[in-house]
Chains A and B, each alone.
Chain A
């Protein structure tokens, strides 16, 4: 069976795995963004706090994904929970780092003016600082998404959802009929989806960033 025949044959299954894959990555990126921005907001004023947060999140990234999943399975069981936990943890670093850089990069004169004309702390954060840091935060989310697309494939090891299932099945059955087709289908699927998501990020950036700060 040729590769395209294989894809044609398995189309509905590949499609549903693709959807699961993307949905897991997108949801985990969103959770990581909520956590990461919160952490960034909490620490950006303190150089020490910023250094610690960045160091911790990069430490997480150095743990091999295989190992992290393996360590999470005894705690969280198999399936979605360890997958989500691992993806969120990996997704944190770019978002935390970019949130800190973005917020710290806001010109002091601007926040001073904001306070000076009577915005409260929350207003300064939500109406000024986060708006100005948004392109950086979004860039962090974009990097996280790309990274998580690949890492999510490993989730199949923990019986997680997504295209990793195809890759693993293909590799395990190496040599038997369609094994290679199966592994390639999963891999190509991930690459294509990653490119699509990247394009979507460009569009989101265009529509959510003020023209006043775009392209600077």
Chain B
């Protein structure tokens, strides 16, 4: 379920100053993620908040699914639009479950339905219901708070989701994970998502389309990430794309789209060191990958020191970008370990695979 959003000649003026958003027109296709990216103060937030009427446009019209939002009751309108913000804005006096259940409650769902939905949403955003249900926001990490924020925004299954720098306040690794999960969620849900960020890499990673905005929310370029990376509309956009555009194109390819290789030697945590050494020697290899009983990667083991488990510092998921994989390869010095939804081992990405992707990108664009 998703709706197209259409903004036509939308202007917002604060007092007598020059407009914060000047004559903005854009069609946001149903079921896509459109990312607004641009320098601080250019009007991204203002533009986004006019869609759910937290800010009333000075002039212009906005329709969602063909319906003019100005004809609707603003509070009712907002209950049909998911809203997630940077600081998560969770209600500190409510438990995680109560936070997630607020919008269904406002919509008058019965208790049983709300309770079921809360469980479902916790599961959807990857939080263990038994563990997190009754916690208060202050008992959560920043990343967990953001997950709850997203769960709250999605609880009433709104066709449209507005996200204002939702992952801006978490550390880079958590941010990467949250981005991966948003991609996975969107794969299932197909909402119309307006996502604001000033991180261009995030825009490339998440956006079906990117709108690069300049002063007063002027649309400098509105297109798919590949096109913007390959053909920036002007110098300002090119500046924003920044150096290493071809490297950034790696964020356009997912690990699930490339071929994974299987390691020659896979051992289990139960195997004896002598056994490991023998199998490595037989295969003529120096490293074996060690998995636990549930086939989750644990460590690398070297033939000369089969007792020493060298921890895997950086792993990637099928939803991760090839850029993430490249970073993991550089950290690990060899190849990147890919895991599935339950943390189980899937395969490896090798540096040659990444090189092949880069060659391929060069040729197609």
Interface centre among A117, A120, A211 (most CB of B within 10 A): A117
B330 within 8 A of A: no
Residues of A within 8 A of B138 (CB): 212-213, 216
* Closest chain B residue to A116, Cβ basis: B83
Residues 59-112 of B contacting A (Cβ, < 8 Å): 75-80, 82-83, 85-95, 102-103, 106
A210 within 8 A of B: yes
Residues of A within 8 A of B79 (CB): 117-118
- Contact of B93 (CB < 8 Å), options: A113, A115, A119, A212: A212
A78 within 8 A of B: no
A211 & B136 in contact (Cβ 8 Å cutoff): yes
How far, in whole Å, are A109 and B149 apart by their CA atoms in the complex? 12
Residues of A within 8 A of B153 (CB): 117
Residues of B within 8 A of A211 (CB): 136
A117 & B103 in contact (Cβ 8 Å cutoff): yes
B83 & A113 in contact (Cβ 8 Å cutoff): yes
B321 within 8 A of A: no
- Per-position binary interface string of chain A over residues 18-60, scored 1 when its CB falls under 8 Å from any chain B CB and 0 otherwise: 0000000000000000000000000000000000000000000
Residues of B within 8 A of A107 (CB): 87, 89
Residues of B within 8 A of A212 (CB): 92-95, 136-138
Residues of B within 8 A of A128 (CB): 91, 93
Residues of B within 8 A of A169 (CB): none
B91 & A114 in contact (Cβ 8 Å cutoff): yes
B52 within 8 A of A: yes
Residues of A within 8 A of B78 (CB): 115-118
Residues of B within 8 A of A15 (CB): none
- Contact of A116 (CB < 8 Å), options: B54, B90, B137: B54
How far, in whole Å, are A216 and B162 apart by their CA atoms in the complex? 31
B75 & A119 in contact (Cβ 8 Å cutoff): yes
A110 within 8 A of B: yes
B75 & A118 in contact (Cβ 8 Å cutoff): yes
Residues of A within 8 A of B85 (CB): 109, 112-113, 116
B75 & A120 in contact (Cβ 8 Å cutoff): yes
How far, in whole Å, are A132 and B138 apart by their CA atoms in the complex? 14
How far, in whole Å, are A112 and B48 apart by their CA atoms in the complex? 14
Residues 96-131 of A contacting B (Cβ, < 8 Å): 107, 109-110, 112-120, 123, 128, 131
* Closest chain A residue to B87, Cβ basis: A109
Residues of B within 8 A of A109 (CB): 85-89
B152 within 8 A of A: yes
Residues 123-138 of B contacting A (Cβ, < 8 Å): 136-138
A117 & B83 in contact (Cβ 8 Å cutoff): yes
Residues of A within 8 A of B80 (CB): 118
Residues of B within 8 A of A114 (CB): 89, 91
B89 & A132 in contact (Cβ 8 Å cutoff): no
- Least CB distance from B148 to A in Å reads 11
How far, in whole Å, are A107 and B85 apart by their CA atoms in the complex? 13
Known contacts A117-B153, A118-B106, A212-B138; is-contact A112 B93 (Cβ 8 Å): no
Residues 157-197 of A contacting B (Cβ, < 8 Å): none
Residues of A within 8 A of B88 (CB): 109, 113
Interface centre among A110, A118, A120 (most CB of B within 10 A): A118
- Contact of B54 (CB < 8 Å), options: A112, A120, A131: A112
Interface centre among B79, B92, B93, B138 (most CB of A within 10 A): B93
B93 & A132 in contact (Cβ 8 Å cutoff): yes
How far, in whole Å, are A211 and B94 apart by their CA atoms in the complex? 9
B93 & A131 in contact (Cβ 8 Å cutoff): yes
Known contacts A116-B52, A116-B83; is-contact A110 B75 (Cβ 8 Å): no
- Least CB distance from B60 to A in Å reads 21
- Least CB distance from A216 to B in Å reads 7
How far, in whole Å, are A132 and B91 apart by their CA atoms in the complex? 9
Between A and B, 27 residue pairs with Cβ closer than 8 Å are A107-B87, A109-B89, A110-B90, A110-B92, A112-B54, A112-B89, A113-B83, A113-B88, A113-B89, A113-B91, A113-B149, A114-B89, A115-B78, A116-B85, A116-B89, A117-B78, A117-B102, A117-B153, A119-B102, A120-B75, A123-B106, A131-B93, A210-B136, A212-B95, A213-B92, A213-B136, A216-B138
Closest A-B pairs by Cβ, 3 of them: A113-B89, A212-B136, A118-B79
